[in-house]
Amino acid sequence: MLLTPDTLPDAELARLRSAQGAGQHEAVAREAGDMLHRWPDHRDLRLIHATSLRFLGRIDQALTQLAALEAAHPRYSLLHQERGLCHIARRDAPAAIAALLVAVGINPALPHSWKMLSGVYRLTGDMDNARKAEAHVHTLRALPEPVVEATSLFSDGDLDEAEALTRRFLLTHGDHPEAMRLLAKIGVAHDVLDDAEVLYAGVLTLAPDHQAARQEYVETLIARHKYPEAREALAPLRAQGSADLKRLDATIAVGLGHHEEAIALYRAILADLPAVPGDDGELRLYLADLHLWLGHALKTLGRLPEAIAAYTHAADLRPDFGDAWWSLANLKTYRFTPEAVEIMRAAEVAPATGAADRVHLNFALGKALEDAGDPQQSWRHYARGNALQREASQYRPEILETNTRLQKQVCTNAFFTAREGWGAAAPDPIFVLGLPRSGSTLIEQILASHPQIEGTQELPDIQRMALELQGRDHDIDAPAYPGSLAALSPMQCRALGERYLAETQAQRSLGRPFFIDKMPNNFRHIGLIHLILPHAKIIDTRRDPMSCCFSNLKQLFAQGQEFTYSLEDIARYYRTYLDLMRHWDAALPGRVLRVLHEDVIEDLETQVRRLLDYCGLPFDEACLNFHQNRRAVRTPSSEQVRRPIFRDGMDQWRAFEPWLDDLKTHLGSALADWR
């Protein structure tokens, strides 16, 4: 059979496995070794080669092959199982146990590994662990073989094969809790969270006491920002009080805005753990994460010294922990010592530093060196951090541009006139939107200082509805949304508006008549907002393009906002934003209030009165003293809005002007006509 250098056919692998099963190990080892010269990175081929070498007693060669396999596929469970079998052949019980434990840690559906562990534990006299391993063998024997096989495939990353096998089993045998749970896990891996949620709910209907499925269900609800539902789902497990469940509880508390509760939970977990982890690397990583999460909650409440202490502790535990260093930088008011800068420099160039840590370290160094008055070196790190983040991104600017073109086609003035009076009647929401780093947090803080307005956070509900209206059509040239808006009935629009109000109710702990949704990207969905909430207020915060784009380029966001990691992308996004906002002005005249950040800085009281007039509310002095409001603020500007109006950030980009010529070029006419 003539084989191309591109692909190793499955039939060839099947033939080698068949020969291996027939005991033809000399031939298989020779042929697989030859084929590896042409397909050196093929995972299964190298495992076949190593396995035949073991059967031939060539253990050292087999272990060499497994080491090469691990370099490319470190989380491939079968390589660790094979390594364990090699050590059993050498009668090295400790090494065999260590390798087999790695295998089952990655993939618990390996009956052969559990059986071998049981045997080796018995040989070493460790009867307690032998019985535990045997219990796993019995658990797997009790499951249908296709479910075990599919679980093993899933654990090793073969998602498509695992999904196909699981679906075939369910079609043949009907509902089965473990098969449904596996399908839900595959859904999570594919980011199809709505399906996963339904499947987990089905599992818990069949098996209400399935603790692992319940915990995974809670994690899925958290990923969907369904915090009230997650809290309810977690309730049956809460009495167990494990650290992992407390961590989930704290995450839910943060999502609900209950930050004091989250702080108490994080501190309770830390109190049960050793403060000094010693040589336990995994514990050290976990402690660093806990201190980071604690720092985030403290920062949100404005408890700055405690937040700094938590972030610093996280960095002490893990000097290459980029997120801890960036969290300090992201306070905006923190200043690094020269010693801290040197620690970050060393970690940034260290070969062992992970990709995500390297990105965070570059942004932190950019901020540290900017504050130190070295714009050239600062820009070098900002540029490197952006380049690394952009390289890992799947961002495609055409998606927003296509959406903008279709919004202009669908959401015309005539379209809205024909639907006048649709949607929910409540006037409660105030949408503050625009680009990130445009001054929206300041506007939110001003408004949330009014006794009739409650500040919440950047709520995902409108974006989630838009995704539902989009469906699973990923054709960027002809997406279903926003065209699907035209198919909505008056009843559906009202139902969506009422659903938005119901689902955001959990964020309104103060019971004030109005509340703020400060998701900046909602400018893409003003048509949807108007259809379902025609009496909501919509405020567009806008900032000079050079100041706004530069501020985004030096900001590393926790998630999303992938358009901010290159000069061309952020400029292109800004121009598209202007284009779409001009359309909303024409299609919905007078509907959106535009507030320029520069005007707020220059004349605060005039702009505050203008905002409150638009919202139909009386003037209140508290809005001028917004910096005294101690409410929780989760955005990067949290510490800045706890200070009186200041001009420091207005022209920060000018120190970096020598490196921003391309940004000016890409912005083009937007430099002059952005207001």
If pLDDT is split at 50, 70 and 90, which confidence band does 9 have?
confident
Rg (CA), the chain: 29
CA-nearest of 645, 244, 223, 614 to 447 is 614
Local structure of residue 643 (DSSP, 8 states): S
Counting residues of the chain whose pLDDT is more than 90, the rounded percentage is 87
Contact status, residue 438 vs residue 597, Cβ threshold 8 Å? yes
If pLDDT is split at 50, 70 and 90, which confidence band does 650 have?
confident
The answer on pLDDT for 597 being more than 80 is yes
Higher pLDDT, 560 or 611: 611
Which of 79-93, 208-222, 273-287 shows the lowest mean pLDDT across its residues? 273-287
- Residue 321: what are its φ and ψ, rounded to 5°? -80, 90
What mean pLDDT is predicted for residues 656-670? 97
Question: To the nearest 5 percent, what fractions of the chain are helix, strand and coil?
Answer: 65, 5, 30
**Cα 158 from chain centroid?**
22
Where does 259-348 show beta strands of DSSP type E? none
Helix axis angle, 397-410 to 567-587, nearest 10° = 10
If pLDDT is split at 50, 70 and 90, which confidence band does 631 have?
low
Local structure of residue 174 (DSSP, 8 states): -
User: In the structure encoding, which two tokens stand for residue 206, read together?
Assistant: 């069949």
Higher pLDDT, 504 or 651: 504
Which of 266-275, 488-497, 530-539 shows the lowest mean pLDDT across its residues? 266-275
What 3-state class would DSSP assign to 593? strand
Q: State the pLDDT at residue 2.
A: 38
392-402 pLDDT, tens per residue?
998 999 999 99
If pLDDT is split at 50, 70 and 90, which confidence band does 5 have?
very low
295-322 pLDDT, tens per residue?
999 999 989 999 999 999 999 999 999 9
Calpha distance 433→441 (Å, rounded): 10
The answer on pLDDT for 647 being more than 70 is no
The torsion angle over the Cα atoms of residues 116, 122, 126 and 127, rounded to 10 degrees, is: 110
The answer on pLDDT for 639 being more than 80 is no
329-370 pLDDT, tens per residue?
999 999 999 999 999 999 999 999 999 999 999 999 999 999
Three-class SS string for 389-453?
HHHCCCCCHHHHHHHHHHHHHHCCHHHHHCCCCCCCCCCCEEEEEECCCCCHHHHHHHHHCCCCE
Contact status, residue 437 vs residue 555, Cβ threshold 8 Å? yes
The answer on pLDDT for 6 being more than 60 is no
What 3-state class would DSSP assign to 592? strand
The answer on pLDDT for 535 being more than 50 is yes
Q: Which domains does the chain have, with CATH numbers?
A: 264-391 (1.25.40.10), 397-544+585-646 (3.40.50.300)
The answer on pLDDT for 411 being more than 90 is yes
The answer on pLDDT for 67 being more than 70 is yes
CA-nearest of 69, 112, 71, 64 to 88 is 112
If pLDDT is split at 50, 70 and 90, which confidence band does 276 have?
confident
Q: State the pLDDT at residue 1.
A: 37
Higher pLDDT, 278 or 480: 480
490-517 pLDDT, tens per residue?
999 999 999 999 999 988 989 999 999 9
What mean pLDDT is predicted for residues 1-13? 66
First-residue to last-residue Cα distance in the chain: 68
What 3-state class would DSSP assign to 454? strand
Place of tokens 């090699």: 86
Other beta carbons less than 10 A from residue 461's beta carbon: 20
Q: State the pLDDT at residue 88.
A: 96
**654-659 contacts, C-beta under 8 A, 24 or more apart:** 655/370, 655/375, 656/375, 656/378, 656/379, 656/550, 659/379, 659/383
Task: Classify each residue of 264-292 as buried b or exposed e, where b means 16 or more C-beta atoms within 10 Å of its C-beta.
Answer: ebbeebbeeeeeebeeeeeebebbbbbbb
421: left (phi over 0), alpha (psi -120 to 50) or beta: left
Q: State the pLDDT at residue 59.
A: 96
DSSP 509-577: TT--SEEEE--GGGGGGHHHHHHH-TT-EEEEEE--HHHHHHHHHT---SS--GGGSSHHHHHHHHHHH
The answer on pLDDT for 241 being more than 80 is yes
Cis peptide before 490 (omega within 30 of 0): no
Other beta carbons less than 10 A from residue 45's beta carbon: 22
Q: State the pLDDT at residue 626.
A: 87
Calpha distance 384→611 (Å, rounded): 40
128-169 pLDDT, tens per residue?
999 999 999 999 999 999 999 999 999 999 999 999 999 999
Contact status, residue 364 vs residue 353, Cβ threshold 8 Å? no
Dihedral of alpha carbons 365, 367, 373, 377, sign: positive
Please state the pTM of the whole predicted model: 0.84
Calpha distance 334→640 (Å, rounded): 11
Calpha distance 259→632 (Å, rounded): 8
What mean pLDDT is predicted for residues 82-88? 96
What mean pLDDT is predicted for residues 647-657? 83
Q: State the pLDDT at residue 624.
A: 93
Other beta carbons less than 10 A from residue 240's beta carbon: 10
Counting residues of the chain whose pLDDT is more than 70, the rounded percentage is 96
